[in-house]
Chains A and B, each alone.
Chain A
Amino acid sequence: MILSGTAHKYGKNVDTDVIIPGRYCNLIDPVELGRHALEDLDANFVKKAKPGDLIVADTNFGCGSSREVAAVALKGAGVAGVVAKSFARIFYRNCINTGLPIFECPQGVDGINDGDKITVDADNGTIRNETTGKEFRATQFPPFMQELIARGGLLRYVEERLKEKASAGERA
């Protein structure tokens, strides 16, 4: 999968309260959530971001609450993926589980400016800054997570495990 769009760059410790404030956590619909994505960090984000754009951020992106709607809100706003130096762990899991592509790439973050055009090859983790022509490589996911993503996310994995368990139960 190739992701291509404008980079919107932010700093360290972008927390889930600014990704989607608590006052909107009574919403479930991705599109409604998306209207408020990053509102408390950058009130213009929703206006300037076009579908397919990417977020580029420093360390500990997504720290704070376990609210899965944070990942959903970004998807709802049309964000195609997030490139960061590091991710907070619950957010990291939530992205894998909900299918928001994320890339850990410290050099890439330093080599991309706000507004640069970037292209990411999600399959091999290559990040290309089209504005400067520089290329970077994201950290590979551990094999287990690659398989999870390849199988179509956590719930598909659960379905297979349930079948395994059921047939083991039949044999027992």
Chain B
Amino acid sequence: MPRPMTQTEKILAAHAGKASVSPGDIISINLDLVMANELSAAVAITEFRKIKGATKVWDPAKIALVPSHFTPNKDIATATLSKMMRDFATEQHIENYFEIGRGGIEHVVLPENGMVGPGETIIGGDSHTTTYGGIGAFATGVGSTDIAAAFALGEMWLRVPATTKIVYEGSLQPYVSAKDLILRTIAELGVDGAIYGALEYTGPVVRDLPISGRFTMANMAIEAGAKNGIFPVDAVTEAYCAAVGKKNYTVYHSDRDAAYERTVVIDCTSVEPQVALPWLPENTRNASELSDIDIQQAVIGTCTNGRIEDMRQAAEILKGQKVHPSVRAIVIPGSQKVYSQCLKEGLAEIFIDAGCVLSTPTCGPCVGGHMGVLADGERCISTTNRNFRGRMGHVKSEVYLTGPYVAAASAILGHIGGPQQLEAAKVVA
């Protein structure tokens, strides 16, 4: 009998050709998918060309390339990076190249095209590759040289992470979403609380979470320093795989007696809508306590909250309302599919009528790239995942992280607040 293992350990052992692995082991794993965006790919391609003996990638079908960060290209420099990736895709016969207008943000695009599945090993040249843990994959972000090596070999070395189990108990209050849970979790753990480790999200509340919410939470595992974040595979996962045409995957469950480094219990019943204040995602407070913070911009979208469920949450609040005169609200569906769905469901009209900018899919302002960069002293409430200094523009601008409900309500209020504060304001008016 192999030793009892966690879900993460089982996936890693299977891909290392071993009966079992233990935290701390350094192993080499076979990869099921290697992803890069135009920023990481440009450097990775340059490094790949330096590898003697590597003219072709190891398996074009297992590589995905997604322009997303500065798309549509904002300047000549980014156009050049995108072109490098496009040319590489053609040269190497990489069919999973998602041109703009047919793609979007990598972490939204890959799952909806059935390219990630339970039990798989996925690395990406982007730290939020952890997102695919939402479907029960081992997924982690790496730098460009690791991507170049993976292009050539289809393998990666890593240190097996110890797993921290998070148990979500109780039930969710109205307008509390997956984003609020992960912000609470990061506050609990700290931004280096899971450094080098794995997070496993469990408990009754998780069982009821839609896959979109699981992606949101796995996305931000890196914000606690984790190597990966993973959800158990259940009926919700299987239904999603069937819907997107993902077949041939292996399901791994943590053994009952598996060893965890630590177990953290979160009582969800007491969690209110959350906001993380600058300059770290761990600086979390209740949205209801922050009404004295005026905002000039609201961003709704990105790889954290750019799925159709997120758009629906924002539209529920913005329907028939107007964005506050001193606020610019920018809504960015995470992919062309989400964008199209927003049109079909009438959400696009709700956003436009409310006075929002509705952008084509892009990372845009999230990384201070374009489509909503902030000036000196400006504040933005955002459904993104990082609020580091200068993240969205000027070094003295500020980013407040939250979920779609609070971002939409704050856009209408002109200051930070959740749907409950918005209702109260309407009564007074």
Interface residues of A (CB under 8 A from B): 12-13, 15, 17-18, 21-23, 25-28, 39-41, 59-60, 63-69, 71, 86, 88-90, 93-94, 97-98, 142, 144-145, 148, 153-155, 157-159, 161-163, 165-166
Contact = CB atoms under 8 A, between A and B. Distances in A.
A152 B50 CA distance: 13
A70 to B, nearest CB: 9
Contact of A89 (B51, B53, B225): B225
A159 B159 contact: no
B60 to A, nearest CB: 17
Given A63-B225, A89-B196, A155-B145, A162 B53 contact: yes
A26 B368 CA distance: 12
Interface string B35-48: 00001101100110
B77 interface: yes
Nearest to B28: A161
Interface of B: 26, 39-40, 42-43, 46-47, 50-54, 69-70, 75, 77-78, 81, 124-127, 129, 141-146, 148-149, 152-153, 155, 157, 159, 191-192, 195-196, 222, 225, 227, 280, 367-369, 373, 386, 388-391, 393, 395
A163 B388 contact: no
Contacts of A67: 39-40, 143
Contacts of A86: 192, 195
B395 A40 contact: yes
11 contacts: A26-B77, A39-B395, A63-B191, A64-B222, A68-B40, A94-B145, A97-B143, A98-B143, A142-B159, A159-B51, A166-B53
A161 B42 contact: no
B51 A158 contact: yes
B388 A18 contact: yes
A159 B53 contact: yes
A68 B145 contact: yes
A21 B390 contact: yes
Given A13-B280, A25-B39, A90 B143 contact: yes
